Amino acid sequence: MNKVFGKKTDFAPIREDASRVIVSYGYQEADEENATWFEVYFYKKQASQVSLADVKNAIIADIDARTDEKILNGYEWTILHGDPQKAKKQRLIGETVKVWLSRENQSNYKAKYDLHYQKPEALTFPTVYKIAENDQKEAIFEEFQSFEELEQFYLGGIAYIEATVQAGWAEKKAIDWAPYESFFPTPEKTNASE
């Protein structure tokens, strides 16, 4: 899938050029004249073998992949304390960073959060977490000095994930499949013509 920035008048759900069939979706206006959208290309030799189900699967898989990527790299956190050992070197206090929300990290944050309610005496503060990396692949740390700070961080991440998933569902639900249905064969159309 390719993200395209172009003139609004250039967008069409299905269009063809000399060698390809171009499937476009995800239209969003950027300004008065321009918009963005996503495109997938099928060479004309293969387009006749592509079904509507193939097109739907490709579009849905792309939306899911972009949603996962947003979850992984999109949650922003403003550094409260940083790593006490490196705070002067990193000078990140008050700066906003993109938190790395891998499934493993999500699980670790949840475990610490849940532990507070199951066995609060097991948690000690301050506690330091690696939450991101800078452009040089150096770790960025946050020191949570209280459970309330950790809770703010964790619940903010959960809210971000939920909003991102909801946006992905809304994007999928908003797709009008009619232009694709008229171009790509469905199994019923294929069988009826035989």
- Residue 121 is predicted with a pLDDT of 86
Domain that holds residue 46: 1-50
Structure tokens at 170: 């809304």
- Residue 86 is predicted with a pLDDT of 62
Of 11, 35, 50, the residue that ends a domain is: 50
Q: Give SS3 for 77.
A: strand
157 and 93 in a common domain: yes
Q: How do beta strands 20-29 and 14-16 pair?
A: antiparallel
163 and 86 in a common domain: yes
Q: Is residue 59 a part of any domain in this protein? A: no
Residue 40 · residue 48 · CB < 8 Å: no
Task: Judge whether residue 192 has pLDDT over 90.
Answer: no
Percentage of the chain modeled with pLDDT above 70: 91
134 and 92 in a common domain: yes
Q: Is residue 21 a part of any domain in this protein? A: yes
81 and 18 in a common domain: no
